Amino acid sequence: MRFEGRACRVSGDPLMLRRAMSNLLSNAMRYTPKGE
């Protein structure tokens, strides 16, 4: 992953943030061709 600029603070419901991050990582693994 590549991030440009400064880091930012994220606030919200910890459970929902965890689910969102888990979903993003799951989708990345599912839809990225093997070897990349």
Instruction: Encode pLDDT of 1-36 as tens digits.
Output: 566 888 878 889 999 999 999 999 999 999 998 876
Residue 20 backbone dihedrals phi, psi, to 5 degrees: -65, -45
Cα(33)–Cα(7) distance, rounded to whole angstroms? 29
pLDDT of residue 1: 59
pLDDT of residue 35: 79
Instruction: Say what the pTM is.
Output: 0.60
Asked if 10 contacts 17 with a C-beta cutoff of 8 angstroms, the reply is yes
Tokens of 13: 């419901």
